[in-house]
Amino acid sequence: GAGVSQSPSNKVTEKGKDVELRCDPISGHTALYWYRQSLGQGLEFLIYFQGNSAPDKSGLPSDRFSAERTGGSVSTLTIQRTQQEDSAVYLCASSLVGFDNQPQHFGDGTRLSIL
Amino acid sequence: GENVEQHPSTLSVQEGDSAVIKCTYSDSASNYFPWYKQELGKGPQLIIDIRSNVGEKKDQRIAVTLNKTAKHFSLHITETQPEDSAVYFCAASKSGSARQLTFGSGTQLTVLP
């Protein structure tokens, strides 16, 4: 079946511009996560959506970062007034939800480059 | 918060040999420990996971062990093949409202033919 889909796969933009990154989770997965992977680094949690609950935004690095999830499916991560340190791969993951943690399945990410 | 440390950062083995990657975690409430394989330009792919009520889990050439007392877990790959070459990440999370994964810094595994 279809996996997690992210678009665009690559984005190059100038410092100060706003960018929007899109994530289509696996059908039926009610949990959705955004992570950031800087060059040669591990993955850093950004934000978590679960059903209709308020999102967990505890990982967002600044108020320039925001995300929404419409209709419990597609999610958009927005970065306003981009800075060079925002350059990274932004990864989205989705999972089922149960009493125990469920495996998170990742997309291939959006590689963001800020000039 | 949770902190996950992973060693070694790079590992080279001969084809057919075994590879072992080790991780430690700090939060005793963590109860879910997945391992991911990431190839260049791709997202992380789940290869095996273990829950805190289990000490060991195997899937063909891959096994994971968990020591809750010492708060460490390890990935074992036997009979390594060139296609096993990739970056491997360990991670930890706990049940409840905050289910995000905390990742180790990754291990670049190279299997030499």
- Distance of residue B65 Cα from the nearest chain A Cα, in angstroms: 18
B43 shares contact with chain A (CB less than 8 Å)? yes
Tens of pLDDT along chain A (115 residues)?
589 999 999 999 999 999 999 999 999 998 999 999 998 778 999 999 988 888 999 999 999 999 999 887 999 999 999 999 999 999 999 999 876 788 999 999 999 999 9
Q: Give contacts of B21 with chain A, Cβ < 8 Å.
A: none
Secondary structure E strands in chain B: 4-7, 10-14, 19-25, 32-38, 45-51, 56-59, 62-67, 72-77, 86-92, 102-103, 107-112
Tell me if A101 and B98 make a contact (CB, 8 A cut-off). no
Q: Give contacts of B42 with chain A, Cβ < 8 Å.
A: 108
Distance CA A44, CA A47 (A): 10
Distance CA B20, CA B11 (A): 9
Digit-coded pLDDT (tens) for B31-74: 999 999 999 999 999 999 999 988 999 999 999 999 999 999 99
Q: In chain B, which residue's Cα lies nearest the Cα of A39?
A: B105
**What's the gap between Cα B104 and its chain centre?**
8
B46 shares contact with chain A (CB less than 8 Å)? yes
Closest CA to A19 of A63, A74, A64: A64
Digit-coded pLDDT (tens) for A32-57: 999 999 987 789 999 999 888 889 99
* DSSP calls for A12-71: EE-TT--EEEEEEPPTT--EEEEEEE-TT--EEEEEEEETTSPPB-TT--STTEEEEEGG
Q: Give contacts of A108 with chain B, Cβ < 8 Å.
A: 41-43
Tell me if B106 and A42 make a contact (CB, 8 A cut-off). yes
Task: Supply the pLDDT for residue B76.
Answer: 98
Task: Supply the pLDDT for residue A48.
Answer: 92
* DSSP calls for A40-55: T--EEEEEEEETTSPP
Task: Supply the pLDDT for residue A1.
Answer: 58
Distance CA A17, CA A19 (A): 7
